[in-house]
Structure 1
Amino acid sequence: MGEVMLRKLIYAVLIIAAIFAAKIWYDTMRDPVVQRLSLTSDALPTRSSPVTIALLADIHVAGPDMPPSRLERIVEQVNALEPDLIAIAGDLVSEKRTATHIYTPEEIVSPLGKLEARLGVVIAPGNHDHWYDWPALSEQIAKHPNLTVLANNAAQFGPLAVGGADDAFTGRDDLEATFAAMAPLTGARVVVTHSPDIFPQVPVDVDLTLAGHTHCGQIAYPWGGAPATMSDYGDLYACGVFEQHGKTLVTSGGLGTSLLPIRLFTQPEVWLIEIRPPQQ
């Protein structure tokens, strides 16, 4: 190979590397994309107003890619959507081995205290929350009246019966307790969980299951799919909307990162889900 050809090859490799670096930076640090879904629940009174839920997942506060200042900007974006309820499907924090900074529980939770939703904010814990220090995070969450933790229990939020499962990935979920707590509640039935793997066990009377954990692979193939999803079901429930036996699952790609502080061919996202009464 001549010197000129070698130089051209080196330039081509550098250009391709620069393009990939720019793509990684953009996919990792861009503002979240707002994904939208509308579904109907017979449990809402006919001609009542629709209810909107904003789904956040896998925030993973840690340096370098998700400092609290970035989370504050995301909170402003979510508030601008004016959801009735906000559901956070676990992993407030990250313990990436490559993290440049690990923040305190107060720094992690404080931006979430600025979330605004008419019915409140529900948090179901994820595996990284337990690995970090869930009691310390819970203590900070309790200081904010807009935030409610649901971990194997349930509560009424206006026209919604909301259950929250503790993390299934670390074996802390108790679905029997969660669904028993939901039984006396009324309205459209919603389950918030970190891992989507509980979906086959969710009763058919649950209208909507909200999950995260998979990051849609975080680093995905450009043609679809990903090398890893951290789900026992592989790609089956890994990303997006799934309907099965009359029930619906939404698995969010999340906001932050774990293991490596990069995304590629996936994007940070927030879901805005509208639950409508029948005949509207």
Structure 2
Amino acid sequence: MINEFNILTGLFIIFILWALIEAQVYRVRRIIIKNSKIPKGFNNFKIIFISDMHYGRGFSSKRLLNIVNKINQIEPDIIIIGGDYLDISVKSKRDVSKYLDKEIQVLKKLKAKLGIFTVLGNHDYFRGKEYLLKKLNSNSFKILKNRKELISKGGDTIEIIGVDDLLEGIPDANVLKKTSTNFTIAISHNPDFFSDYKNVINYDLGFAGHTHGGQVTFFGVYAPYTSSKYGQMYCKKIIHEKDRDILLTNGIGNGKLPIRFFAIPEIVEIDLED
């Protein structure tokens, strides 16, 4: 007769296997964003957003290459990367250069018609920041550290503004204080930035990672740990506010443990519609 101990043991084994497998797969999540400020030239404009790769011992270059190939198949107009390139387990100076070299070697295969834009995450400040910046710059990734980029298409223009990491960097909310007639995309690795400066910043669409969707959740409903002082708020897929949206991603990699539970890694595909 099956007793309670055997049932609990079986369920625990299933949980562990599920969590390990989920951490190594990924999905493509497609979102359509409609906003009256999106100009005609940007109708059906395609954006790919990825974040939190945490590349390291638990993340094979083959898996990253599969992700890059999938992104290229989508043929995005631009790619946005939300920071946290290396896993926290990559500690020595030698390992930092080794893993960053491998990671950037694969990431430089990414193709986007109008550019690849990135911000830095908190993990990017822990070790190897200067080496990371050097590698990103040498591969024509545009680093948005409290700065703006204009993107033009079909005679129309939108703005992309990235801010420095909220925890380890020095984010400058002033770059988002001015109201623009252009459709404005704001990027912050940490979503708490959007709440901390909610009443003083202006944008139309926000992008953020950092929380990993909770990473380990109770069937996608509740996350015991969120990496955000705003609790469950930024484990959602998208937050609708008056005249603007904040788009969150579960990220591609994992945290300290290589497990996921109902917070599957993802590539986010965004299609703009006027």
Same fold, TM-score > 0.5, yes or no: yes
Q: Pick the aligned partner of 2:23 from 25, 28, 44.
A: 28
Task: Work out whether residues 176 and 202 of structure 2, in 8 Å CA contact, stay in contact via their aligned partners in 1.
Answer: no
Q: Pick the aligned partner of 1:172 from 157, 170, 187.
A: 170
Name the amino acid aligned to 2:137.
A
- Secondary structure, counterpart of 2:230 in structure 1: coil
Q: Pick the aligned partner of 2:135 from 136, 140, 147.
A: 140
Distance 1:91 1:223 in 2: 23
Name the amino acid aligned to 2:194.
F
- Secondary structure, counterpart of 1:132 in structure 2: coil
Task: Work out whether residues 55 and 272 of structure 1, in 8 Å CA contact, stay in contact via their aligned partners in 2.
Answer: yes
Q: Pick the aligned partner of 2:238 from 214, 237, 241.
A: 241
Q: Report the equivalent of 1:72.
A: 65
Q: Against the structure 1 CA distance between its residues 17 and 105, is the aligned structure 2 distance closer, same or farther, given a 3 Å change threshold?
A: same
Q: Deviations over 1:216-275 (max 9, x none)?
A: 111111261101111111111223100112110011010111121211221001111111
Task: Work out whether residues 96 and 258 of structure 1, in 8 Å CA contact, stay in contact via their aligned partners in 2.
Answer: no
Task: Work out whether residues 96 and 261 of structure 1, in 8 Å CA contact, stay in contact via their aligned partners in 2.
Answer: no
RMSD: 2.5
Deviation of 1:179 after TM superposition, in Å, equals: 2.3
Unaligned runs of 5+ in 2: none
> What TM-score comes out, normalization by structure 2 length?
0.87
Name the amino acid aligned to 2:62.
S
Q: Report the equivalent of 1:219.
A: 216
Q: Report the equivalent of 1:161.
A: 159
Task: Work out whether residues 20 and 258 of structure 2, in 8 Å CA contact, stay in contact via their aligned partners in 1.
Answer: no
Distance 1:54 1:15 in 2: 39
Q: Against the structure 1 CA distance between its residues 237 and 11, is the aligned structure 2 distance closer, same or farther, given a 3 Å change threshold?
A: closer
Q: Against the structure 1 CA distance between its residues 70 and 219, is the aligned structure 2 distance closer, same or farther, given a 3 Å change threshold?
A: same
- Tell me whether 1:121 sits opposite 2:116 in the alignment: yes
Identical columns (%): 27
Q: Report the equivalent of 2:254.
A: 257
- Tell me whether 1:52 sits opposite 2:46 in the alignment: yes
Distance 1:96 1:218 in 2: 17
Q: How does 1:171-210 map to 2 (within 5 A)?
A: 171-176=169-174, 178-179=175-176, 187-200=182-195, 201=197, 205-210=202-207
Q: Against the structure 1 CA distance between its residues 9 and 71, is the aligned structure 2 distance closer, same or farther, given a 3 Å change threshold?
A: same
> What TM-score comes out, normalization by structure 1 length?
0.86
Q: Deviations over 1:22-61 (max 9, x none)?
A: 211221111x211121122333334753211111010110
Q: Deviations over 1:111-148 (max 9, x none)?
A: 11111111111110001111121110010111112x11
Which has the greater radius of gyration? 1
- Tell me whether 1:151 sits opposite 2:148 in the alignment: no
Distance 2:168 2:47 in 1: 26
Q: Against the structure 1 CA distance between its residues 9 and 165, is the aligned structure 2 distance closer, same or farther, given a 3 Å change threshold?
A: same
Query: Is the deviation greater in 218-227 or in 10-19?
Result: 10-19
